[in-house]
Amino acid sequence: MKFLVTGGAGFIGGNYLHIMTKKYPEDEFVCLDSLTYAGNMETLSPIMDKKNFKFVKGDIRDRDFVYSLFEKEHFDYVINFAAESHVDRSIENPQIFLETNIIGVSVLMDACRKFGIKRYHQVSTDEVYGDLPLDRPDLLFHEDTPLHTSSPYSSSKASADLLVLAYHRTYGLPVTISRCSNNYGPYQFPEKLIPLMIQKARKNEKLPVYGDGKNVRDWLHVSDHCKAIDLIVRNGRDGEIYNVGGHNERSNLQVVETILKALGKDDSLIEHVKDRLGHDRRYAICPDKIEKELGWKPEYNFDTGIAETIKWNVENQEWLNHVESGEYRRWMERYENL
């Protein structure tokens, strides 16, 4: 089978490719990535020489390019990780989120219709559900929870989800959607909470925590997420949504305190800053459907996962330094003409 993996030079897509190229040596994986600021060829360096892997530079919004790639490669499956995904950036500049996360999705699905695929899979987020109150721990997001978005980012992802379902109903396109909780793990771009706090703590810099820090997220190790996607793509039911959660709810403040303790740093480094606009209070996923239908279970609990993630960040300073300094862009330049 041949898989198109869009956004594969990013955090979750890159981890997916690391795992799947090893697990399925008989399958072929083509990574399509436009190498925006969060796309990093260094993330893919461990698999660049694998016989079942190929990298292609391109933009999912470019219809002519996407069609030519589909015509050439004859894909069986398409997994769309490609997305603008940082909430703060979406508040500052919503347009690029609408272009990539909605228009790009429509281009990919039109290509799937034109050239025929076994399944299109959309990687979505629990943020499309909005948020839950802190004083109701019994409430969880289910697949039929109404969409109630809070940011331009989550609105663009919800729009894409609705478009995917519409293509299934109107055109009969075989599709699945996964909505995950907050991911963490190796190769995460250091603008996100966990790698950002690890880096700042190691440098003895202030750790900025939005508002009171009580906002709660359900943390999912990226490898557990990737394995869930694999099960959905290969065994899920067409037209279905699957929630993927880690059963690991922690407040932002608890996450930061855990990182400081692991690194032997003092809580005095915490600095509460002005809260994010429209900041959701709590996310919590109910993954019963994927557990019952597909037999998926997360392998990581948060304590084990965060310890491993901190260790990875400490031991991979070259990768992180290249990202922070912009040096990884030089890596990309060699692929400009691909």
CA-CA distance, 122 to 6, in Å (whole number)? 10
Q: Report the SS3 class of residue 244.
A: strand
The one catalytic residue among 120, 129, 153, 242: 153
The encoded tokens of residue 198 equal 């690890």
CB 126 within 8 Å of CB 140: no
Residue 244, number of CB atoms within 10 A of its CB = 29
The one catalytic residue among 127, 131, 224, 257: 127
Q: Report the SS3 class of residue 180.
A: strand
E strand map for 103-203 = 119-125, 175-180, 182-184
Our answer to whether residue 127 is catalytic in this structure is: yes
Our answer to whether residue 327 is catalytic in this structure is: no
What does the angle CA 183 – CA 246 – CA 17 come to, to the nearest 5 degrees? 45
Our answer to whether residue 153 is catalytic in this structure is: yes
The one catalytic residue among 28, 42, 59, 126: 126
Tell me the CA distances in angstroms from 276 to 69, 88, 291, 300, one per residue in order.
40, 8, 34, 29
Sequential DSSP letters for 114-139? HH--SEEEEEEEGGGG----TT-TT-
Q: Any idea which residues carry the catalytic annotation?
A: 126-127, 153
